[in-house]
Amino acid sequence: MNVRIKGVVCLLVVALLIIPVFTPTSSAFFHKKRTIKVAVIMQRWDILDVISYPFIISAYQKCLKEAERWYGVKFQLYKFWDGWNRGDVQNGRLEKLGIDVIIAPGGFGGWHTPERYREEIKRFVRNGGGFYGICGDSTFGSMGVKNLPKTYGHLIKRLLGFKQLSPMLGLANVYTDASVFKDMVGHPWRFTKLDLAVCLTQLVVSRAPVYFLRTSEPIQKPYFRKTLRMMLGNAPLVSGSKLKGFFMPDVIDVAVFLGSDKPYDKSMRWKKAIVATTYGEGRVILSAPHPELTVGKDKAHDIFIRNLLWVAEALPNT
């Protein structure tokens, strides 16, 4: 009899130890955090990527730590570099490492990219990956540029040393509106690398009002109908082709510019600042401004984090 009792007690003890592990309400299960793999993609042919790399990575590390604290998720950050003929993206590491989201942090490299590089990124997003294009890479993720005088193409090649300009990714049916560059650049043949450096310096200290619209997707729900000032980056986005709109997913206008700051003029007002859409099975956000680089603004950092979580399909419903 004592043996039977001991046996029953042992079974109960084992059950108490094992069952909670498989129970969804157990603390072991409830506190398990999802790890989101994020790859920041940079290009060795883009001098701005090479120069700004330490600052960019430091800013992202700070934002991701804030995200882990605020949203209860975990991130693993990868730094991807590509040269013209080979590199992390072109060697298939997006798939091999199981990356969830690409962050394209900006710069000029998107104007001049190898075909294999573009195809790997499009395949990644089409198969369910996320793409978050910021500043110059909001153009890279778009259909291209509108209102760019022909002479400006020569200006870009001359300043950046590109032999030719390549197609953009076309992940979202929007364009970058280059008309805002006219007052900034003036006569393109007189615009020098020094002038470009001055414009970039002005961008770092710029702050422009960005208004967040009420949208069906709760990407920026805490900020609906609110205005935040954040660092400028690229020219604003505008609607894409009506014809392409028949077979491309709708674009959500997440936020618009209410004003501008140097080096841009007032023509940015009411144009698109941040948009969201889908491409195949993946999600896409394009952001002309730099919320993640806006120093001293936790709310701007939260804008960046919520965008990132949305493209990773990990944004809480709150």
Residue type, 169: L
Question: Is there a domain that residue 262 lies in?
Answer: yes
Give a yes or no: residue 20 inside a domain.
no
Residue 164 maps to which CATH number? 3.40.50.880
Residue 30 lies in a domain: no
Is residue 89 a part of any domain in this protein?
Answer: yes
* Per-residue tens of pLDDT for the chain, all 318 residues: 455 555 544 444 444 444 333 333 333 333 345 799 999 999 999 999 999 999 999 999 999 999 999 999 999 999 999 999 999 999 999 999 999 999 999 999 999 999 999 999 999 999 999 999 999 999 999 999 998 766 666 777 777 788 888 999 999 999 999 888 877 776 666 778 888 888 889 999 999 999 999 999 999 999 999 999 999 999 999 999 889 889 999 999 999 999 999 999 888 999 999 999 999 999 999 999 999 999 888 899 999 999 999 999 999 875
Domain contains 128: yes
What domain range includes position 199?
35-311
Q: How many domains does the chain have?
A: 1
Asked if residue 206 belongs to a domain, the reply is yes
Residue 10 lies in a domain: no
In a domain, residue 21? The reply is no
